[in-house]
Amino acid sequence: MAATVETKQQVEEMAEQYKYGFVTDVEMDMAPKGLSEEVVRFISAKKNEPEWMLEWRLKAYRAWLKMEEPDWARVDYPKIDYNDIYYYAAPKSQDKPKSLDEVDPELLRTYEKLGIPLREQEVLAGVEGAAKVAVDAVFDSVSVATTFREELKKAGVIFMSISEAVHEYPELVKKYLGTVVPQRDNYFAALNCAVFSDGTFVYIPKGVRCPMELSTYFRINAENTGQFERTLIVADDDSYVSYLEGCTAPMRDENQLHAAVVELIAHDNAEIKYSTVQNWYPGDKDGKGGIYNFVTKRALCKGKNSKVSWTQVETGSAVTWKYPSCVLAGDGSVGEFYSVAVTNNYQQADTGTKMIHQGKNTSSTIISKGISAGKSHNTYRGLVKVMSGADNVRNYTQCDSLLVSSECGAHTVPYIEVKNPTAQIEHEATTSKISDDQLFYCRARGFDEEEAVAMIVNGFCKEVMQHLPMEFAVEAQKLLGISLEGSVG
Amino acid sequence: MLKINDLHVHVDGTEILKGLDLEVKAGEVHAIMGLNGAGKSTLANTIAGRDDYEVSAGSIEFEGQDLLELEPHERVGEGIFLGFQYPVEIPGVSNLNFMRTALNSVRKYNGEDDMSAAEFMKLIRAKASELGMDAEMLKRFVNVGFSGGEKKRNEMVQMAVLNPKLAVLDETDSGLDIDALRIVSEGINAQRRDDTAILLITHYQRLLNYVQPDVVHVMIDGKIVKSGGKELAAELEEKGYADVA
Amino acid sequence: MQEQLTEGYKAQAETLMGTVPGADSLRQSALKEFEGIGFPTNRTEEWRYSDTKALRAEEFALAGTSTSAEIAAPLGETAARFVFVNGRYAEELSDLGDLWQAMPIRPLANHFMANPDRATELIRGNDGVSLLNTALMRDGLVLSVPAGIEIDEPIEIVHVMDGADQAAAHTRHVIELGEGAEITVIEHFVGDASAYWTNSVLQARIAEGAKLRHVRLQEEGEAATHTAKAYVNLDAESEYYCVNMSVGGKAARFEAHVRVLGEEADAHVDGVSLAGTGQNHDTLTHVSHMVPNATSDQIFRTVADTRGKTAFQGKVTVVKDAQLTEADQSFKALVFDKTAEANSKPELEILADDVKCSHGATIGQLDDKAIFYLTSRGIDPVTARKILVEAFTADALVNIENEALRETLVERIRVWMASRAENVGAGE
């Protein structure tokens, strides 16, 4: 069944603040609205999946039916009608294009507008010395292009959409899928397992340092559509990879659901650096529309001395529910979480991390910076847990909240649970107003108020931003300023 | 009094002391000089019995008995005192309570009765005033909020109260202005007697202008490479370690 | 099970109808609510670290009278002493001193008769435990301290449980301080080895410029369940100092709910928990800043020995417009071995922008450097650890102005440590 999506707004009508709010007009292939076993089968069939994959989805779907939507987060949104959502929407074309020449030019223009380079030669022709970034572009439910695959293949790195990986590397996918985030982990994860449409698969073989940054760019375009992508990254012994993720969506009056699952596995001495700049449409200044961003991200530091580092800049989405976590199973493994979360207008973010220390000599660092403006609510929620067998654990946590308006809220909810006497856990948190002295000083040096706020906020976030790859950091910095527009005065 | 033979010490798996020999007799003051990283503090901590300083070979005898067999507090009972390079801050524990507990622990170790509160107060007030420490500071928490000089002075008061046979002073002179240095030196000189010995660990000659050593040792890379009289210190100051050794 | 428990507690409440005039309808509605929610479990967020197995397993009868109870010695000089045995006021064991000349002292029943609508107005966030306190309260002390009255010596309330196996005492105390009044209230909880349940609620209202010092010493018997809550409202420029020391009981929990309702008020909630073998000590605090320009401060220190479990859930709420609030929380826990457990959740909920709020939490063992420093001065390791634990917990007692009282509590720490110093912070 196919439906043509009408263009609701033209690019020219784009609002000033959210510059990614345009809609792309392409013919779409869609599943029937609503969720049922038939829809799960439809998605699986669309992707030509093997039987085991379908069974896996159905098992998750049946589990999901019995589960309840979590209500413990400090977010408030109207009840979601899961039968009023399209679970599959793909630009109409027969197969995944073999080269960019076969990609619908409308799509290419979309990514161009978003500033995402899909043509390898464009990247190469770019500024000398600019880092090479391979991109997997996911448009609604499918991956439309993956760049630099050949070059990566030479290094032994597998980088492709997860739908392709299911066919090309079924053993690897079977071995790792669902091992970090079990199907029944939570309501949204179970939903994702049942209906995930596409996403990225990365495998870095033993001893390989991935020669370039890998990235996935997620774009929600179609109306009333949920996006349920799935990312699986496996770093084998002694390997290294840095992965970036970006997201945008058109401006629409309806809320749209995004429920992704990201699983990372790091073997002995492997390191995965995972960076996110989340800029889903946050809704308008009256809180109308925007993405519900309910995401489960978890890393398993399986091997000894493995390391996973999450860095996130969260500026978008109407509602965010997201806790990128590390299970530190391997002795000597390291988990890091660096986060900036900005909320403005009526946005609500409940985000943080879990560091589960199972192995000996494991350590973790958590730096969280929350900025609340407008009438928004921004919550840090975290867990540091030390199991009784985990000797010599170290954790340092710092959560700072900055309040930019008198009508917003900043909340800090850290859980610390320790069952081993050799642990050293330190947690510090502060909440304060943006300093009048600093603001005045900036004003006296010629900044307008918004510029001054942006500057101070950027300083406040510096500890986190410096963990982003450089190209991302620049973008993220600009984003902070844009997100806070209209927050002063 | 102190006899160290072919001492090898590992810290975190790295060998720091690599066959060190040293003999200190009663009545003597020895100075050990060396650059940072030579192993001077490791020697001091090993004599005091700190965990993590793993003796892999060699021996330390103190008055004929095997020091390495003793726990840190037992060594104090035997008469060894370590002056810390960086005295530790202990919030919540007053200096008075700390020193009184320490003194009575040592007395107990030696089969003596506790010192009465009144007698103790008299003793510590006297020692504090000799070393120019304000009596108010005795009531404060151990080293908390003390300046660098005040911490070192506090170390000297503790030494005077415990009255050890052997004092090992680890960089006691570092971070002191000239007045503080003079007071610390007086503390050391007061402790200098026929029946006591002092091991000064330093990397400047400065302190040795106030406390005249009997023997000066040069330590490089975990070993004593040269020993001599007090003139060796002046020579080191002048020519540097590379030339002297 | 829940149904059976509800029926049992309904029957208990029946027997109390009419004993506290004005309370009957409150009992009814509390029971009705209890029927709906029952006892909290670990799935109840505020109770996630508590042990409520005993409460959920079997009904606790209303404790009967006892005349043979062993009464704890006073904790120092007191202005007056009110003794409650098995939840009933024991006049012959109490000593009112001259207190009655300075202020009205009434039993709970009179208070309800005079102020039926004020009886529970301070109580917020009802759960199964406080609902049963309302449904089954029988006795309690009502103190109304007139404006300007200052009493130096503490007023002690002693709760004694004796021979009350599988039985409970539900006491309710009401303390009201007039403008500028100042008193110290000590609550002391003791009991025998039977598996009883103490369920106590204290409500306090502190008028403008008044000051209430509230010291709790929980030394329940080894099989006891202890649940206690303090609900405190502060008017402008008033002060509240609470220090809770938790030593006894099998499952012990204290909650302090403090509402800052007047500007320039100052609230302090501090505590020490010492949880030994098989003990669970949970503390929950919630300080709500409802107006601008006030301060609050919380200092908690917990120590968990073998198979002991401590928890601290501290929440500070600053409502919209409560500008210039300054609130601080400091929580530190020691864990002695791998069977011990420390949990903490220091929470900030901030809805005003011009505030300074912070919290710090650390969990670990005694500092090796400090132990070495002490041993390098001749102090044996066991004594060194005792000294350090005493210093560690002392932070939370600094707000007890009465030195003798503070020393009494420190002595409790020493006694607790004496039996376990070998294990203390040995890290193995």
* Domain residue spans of chain C: 2-262
The whole-number average pLDDT for the span C379-406 is 93
Res. C23 pLDDT band, cuts 50 70 90:
confident
Chain-chain contact of A411 with C350 (C-beta, under 8 angstroms): yes
Distances in Å between the alpha carbon of C367 and those of A423, C164, C425?
11, 43, 9
- Listed range (A139-143, B44-48, B180-184, C131-135) with the worst mean pLDDT: A139-143
- Listed range (A34-43, A211-220, B30-39, B50-59) with the worst mean pLDDT: A211-220
The C-alpha atoms of residue A405 and residue A415 are separated, in whole angstroms, by: 27
Residue B165 belongs to a domain with what CATH number?
A: 3.40.50.300
DSSP secondary structure code for residue C334 in this structure: E
In the sheet that holds B65-66, the strands lie side by side as: B14-24, B2-11, B53-62, B65-66
> Which pTM was predicted?
0.84
The C-alpha atoms of residue B167 and residue B1 are separated, in whole angstroms, by: 12
The whole-number average pLDDT for the span B146-164 is 91
Q: Measured between beta carbons, which residues in chain C are less than 8 angstroms from residue A434?
A: 353
pLDDT in tens, C267-288: 999 999 999 999 999 999 999 9
Query: Left, alpha or beta for A140 (phi > 0: left; psi -120 to 50: alpha)?
Result: left
How many domains does chain B contain in total? Answer: 1
CB contacts < 8 A (A, C): 125
Q: How far apart are the first and last CA of chain B?
A: 27
List the one residue out of A272, A258, A259 whose CA is nearest residue A213.
Answer: A272
Q: Measured between beta carbons, which residues in chain C are less than 8 angstroms from residue A409?
A: 349-351
- The percent of residues in chain A predicted with pLDDT above 70, rounded, is 87
Q: Residue B31 pLDDT > 80, yes or no?
A: yes
Within 8 A by CB and 6+ apart from C43, the residues are none
Q: Measured between beta carbons, which residues in chain A are less than 8 angstroms from residue C336?
A: 421
Q: Residue A7 pLDDT > 70, yes or no?
A: no
The whole-number average pLDDT for the span C138-156 is 95
pLDDT for C253 = 98
H helices present in chain B, as ranges: 40-48, 72-78, 95-109, 117-130, 135-139, 148-162, 178-190, 231-239, 241-244
Q: Measured between beta carbons, which residues in chain A are less than 8 angstroms from residue C314?
A: none
* Mean pLDDT score of chain C: 92
The residue type at B184: V
User: What's the sign of the alpha-carbon dihedral A50, A51, A52, A58?
Assistant: positive
The whole-number average pLDDT for the span B25-30 is 95
| Residue ranges of chain C whose CB lies within 8 Å of a chain B CB | 367-370, 372-381, 383-384, 387-388, 390-392, 394-395
B51 touches chain C (CB under 8 A): yes
* Mean pLDDT score of chain A: 85
B26 touches chain C (CB under 8 A): no
Chain-chain contact of B73 with C395 (C-beta, under 8 angstroms): no
The C-alpha atoms of residue A120 and residue A151 are separated, in whole angstroms, by: 11
Note the ipTM here. Answer: 0.86
C324 touches chain A (CB under 8 A): no
Chain-chain contact of B102 with C378 (C-beta, under 8 angstroms): yes
The whole-number average pLDDT for the span A195-221 is 88
For residue A301, list its beta bridge partners. A266, A328
| Radius of gyration, CA atoms only, chain B | 18
Chain-chain contact of A72 with C359 (C-beta, under 8 angstroms): no
pLDDT in tens, A407-451: 899 999 999 999 999 999 999 999 988 877 777 776 777 677 777
- Listed range (B82-91, B191-200, C130-139) with the worst mean pLDDT: B82-91
Helix and strand numbers (H, E) in chain A are: 11, 25
pLDDT for C311 = 96
Res. C218 pLDDT band, cuts 50 70 90:
very high
pLDDT in tens, B100-125: 888 988 998 999 999 999 999 999 99
- Strand A27-30 vs strand A89-91: parallel, antiparallel, or unpaired? antiparallel
The whole-number average pLDDT for the span A20-47 is 84
Of B92, B105, B106, the CB nearest to C391: B92
Chain-chain contact of A428 with C360 (C-beta, under 8 angstroms): yes
pLDDT for C428 = 38
Res. A1 pLDDT band, cuts 50 70 90:
very low
Nearest CA in chain B to C378: B73
pLDDT in tens, C174-189: 999 999 999 999 999 9
Q: C165 exposed, middle or buried (CB, 10 Å; 0-12, 13-18, 19+)?
A: middle
- Listed range (A86-100, A199-213, C92-106, C194-208) with the worst mean pLDDT: A86-100
- Strand A240-248 vs strand A213-219: parallel, antiparallel, or unpaired? parallel
Of A416, A428, A433, the CB nearest to C353: A433
Res. A6 pLDDT band, cuts 50 70 90:
very low
- Whether the CB-CB separation of B73 and C380 falls below 8 Å is answered with yes
The whole-number average pLDDT for the span B24-44 is 92
Which helix (H) or strand (E) is C213 found in, with range? strand C211-219
Q: Which residue range(s) make up the domain with B69? A: 2-244
Say if C and A touch: at least 3 Cβ pairs within 8 Å.
yes
Collapsing DSSP to helix, strand or coil, C162 comes out as coil
- Of these ranges, A73-77, A221-225, B57-61, B232-236, the one predicted with the greatest mean pLDDT is B57-61
Q: Residue A11 pLDDT > 50, yes or no?
A: no
B88 touches chain C (CB under 8 A): yes
Q: Transcribe A340-365 into DSSP letters.
A: EEEE-TT-EEEE--EEEE-STT-EEE
- Listed range (C98-112, C175-189, C358-372) with the worst mean pLDDT: C98-112
- Whether the CB-CB separation of C170 and C198 falls below 8 Å is answered with no
Chain-chain contact of C378 with B106 (C-beta, under 8 angstroms): yes
The whole-number average pLDDT for the span A192-215 is 92
Of A403, A409, A421, the CB nearest to C335: A421
Q: How far is C12 from chain A (nearest CA, A)?
A: 35
pLDDT for A253 = 75
C360 touches chain A (CB under 8 A): yes
The whole-number average pLDDT for the span A57-70 is 95
Res. B128 pLDDT band, cuts 50 70 90:
very high
Of C368, C369, C387, the CB nearest to B93: C387
pLDDT for C302 = 97
CB atoms closer than 10 angstroms to residue A107: 22
Say if B and A touch: at least 3 Cβ pairs within 8 Å.
no
C-alpha A417: how far from chain center: 27
Which chains contact B through at least 3 pairs of Cβ atoms less than 8 Å apart? C
Of C368, C370, C395, the CB nearest to B90: C370
- Of these ranges, A187-201, A234-248, A470-484, C183-197, the one predicted with the greatest mean pLDDT is C183-197
Tokens for B94, please give them: 């007053």
pLDDT for A282 = 87
